[in-house]
């Protein structure tokens, strides 16, 4: 399968790219500023992966990413993983409008723009897979993350609507809602915040990025051919 992954140079995105290559897919991923990391992934993958610098908040960049992906694939885009995201945490009364909108632009408008750019290619094939990276925060909310929670909740709604709109073309659209994952973001947490988070998880540990990537792999595989419009929570039993 030819798959586009946004935000594929670091963290969960990098793990997704590595897993998809392991599965035998051809991958084109976007990155915004991590040029060295992106180049290292491309160099290690022997021509089965391409990297495109692009900003998913720009409709022009999203279209260019899909065009460059089609050229690299020498064909159509068959899969899309909307992974790119940002966070700008803060209590609602202290949160600026700029910080609120910046998260919505990347985490919600970005997947919308990417889907608009990629779906015509899938429609011609009468087949496709889209995986949107939501979050447990979009399901349950979290103090200090009004912008992130709103964006991820919106992404879940977008996922369900897209699943209904494109089912007739055999385009399956699902979302993953990770809990706490060992990334640069969680590495910066204070010990107190980390302990509080672990106390909410029945498995008493954070996920590894590879554990999220394995669920992406499943949703892109033939084994998920009768699943669409769903949100798979991958949180280690964070909210039970």
pLDDT tens-digit map of 87-114? 999 999 999 999 999 999 999 999 999 9
Residue 186 has a pLDDT of: 75
24-74, pLDDT tens digit by residue? 999 999 999 999 999 999 999 878 999 999 999 999 999 999 999 999 999
Q: What is the pLDDT of residue 129?
A: 98
199 is a domain residue: yes
- Dihedral of the alpha carbons of 138, 140, 144, 147, in degrees to the nearest 10: 20
Q: How many domains does the chain have?
A: 1
DSSP code per residue over 51-69 = EEE--TT-HHHHHHHHHHH
User: Can you tell me the distance from the alpha carbon of 173 to that of 122, in angstroms, rounded to the nearest whole number?
Assistant: 12
pLDDT at 46: 78
Mean pLDDT across 218-238: 97
Predicted pLDDT of residue 239: 83
In a domain, 239, yes or no: no
- For the whole model, what pTM was predicted? 0.95
18: in domain: yes
Mean pLDDT score of the chain, rounded to an integer? 95
pLDDT tens-digit readout, 69-92: 999 999 999 999 999 999 999 999
- Whether residue 86 lies inside any domain: the answer is yes
- Residue 240: inside a domain: no
Q: d(Cα 118, Cα 139) in Å, to the nearest integer?
A: 26
pLDDT digits (tens, 9 = 90+) for 153-184: 999 999 999 999 999 999 999 999 999 999 87
Give the domain range for residue 163: 2-234
CATH of residue 80's domain is 3.40.50.720
Residues with Cβ within 8 Å of 186's Cβ and at least 6 positions away in sequence, in order, are 180, 194, 197, 206
- pLDDT value, residue 196: 83
Q: How far is CA 56 from the centre of its chain?
A: 12
What pLDDT shows up at residue 91? 96
Q: Does residue 162 fall inside a structural domain?
A: yes
Q: In the annotation, is 148 catalytic?
A: yes
Share of the chain above pLDDT 90, in %: 90
Please say whether the beta carbons of 171 and 128 come within 8 A: yes
Model pLDDT for residues 140-156, shown as the tens digit of each residue: 999 999 999 999 999 99
For the chain, the DSSP string reads -EEEESS-SSHHHHHHHHHHHHTT-EEEEEESS-HHHHHHHHHHTTTSEEEEE--TT-HHHHHHHHHHHHHHHTS---EEEE-------B-GGG--HHHHHHHHIIIIIHHHHHHHHHHHHHHHHT-EEEEEE--HHHHH--TTBHHHHHHHHHHHHHHHHHHHHHGGGTEEEEEEEE--B-SHHHHTS-HHHHHHHHHT-TT-SPBPHHHHHHHHHHHHSGGGTT--S-EEEESSSS--
| Choice among 31, 140, 148, 226 that is catalytic | 148
Query: Residue 223: its pLDDT value, please?
Result: 97
- In whole angstroms, how far apart are CA 40 and each of 34, 44, 132? 10, 6, 25
70: in domain: yes
Instruction: Return the pLDDT at 192.
Output: 82
Classify strands 49-53 and 2-5 as parallel, antiparallel or unpaired: unpaired
In a domain, 223, yes or no: yes
Which pLDDT value is given to residue 183? Answer: 86
């Amino acid at each position: 399968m030819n798959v586009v992954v946004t935000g594929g140079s670091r963290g969960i995105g990098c793990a997704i790219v590595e897993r998809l290559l392991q599965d035998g897919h051809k991958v084109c991923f976007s990155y915004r500023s991590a040029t060295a990391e992106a180049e290292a992934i491309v160099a290690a993958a022997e021509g089965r992966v391409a990297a495109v610098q692009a900003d998913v908040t720009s409709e022009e960049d999203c279209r260019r990413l899909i065009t460059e992906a089609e050229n690299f694939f020498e064909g159509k885009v068959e899969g899309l993983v909307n992974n790119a995201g940002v966070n700008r945490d803060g209590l609602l009364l202290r949160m600026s409008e700029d910080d609120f909108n910046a998260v919505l632009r990347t985490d919600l408008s970005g997947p919308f723009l990417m889907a608009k750019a990629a779906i015509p290619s899938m429609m011609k094939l009468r087949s496709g897979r889209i995986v949107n990276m939501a979050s447990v925060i979009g399901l349950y909310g979290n103090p200090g993350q009004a912008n992130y929670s709103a964006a991820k909740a919106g992404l879940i709604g977008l996922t369900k609507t897209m699943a209904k709109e494109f089912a007739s073309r055999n385009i399956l659209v699902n979302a993953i809602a990770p809990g706490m994952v060992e990334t640069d973001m969680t590495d910066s947490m204070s010990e107190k915040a980390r302990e509080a988070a672990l106390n909410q998880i029945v498995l008493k540990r954070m996920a590894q990025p590879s554990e999220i990537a394995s669920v992406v792999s499943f949703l892109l595989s033939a084994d998920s051919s009768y699943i669409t419009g769903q949100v798979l929570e991958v949180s280690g039993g964070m909210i039970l």
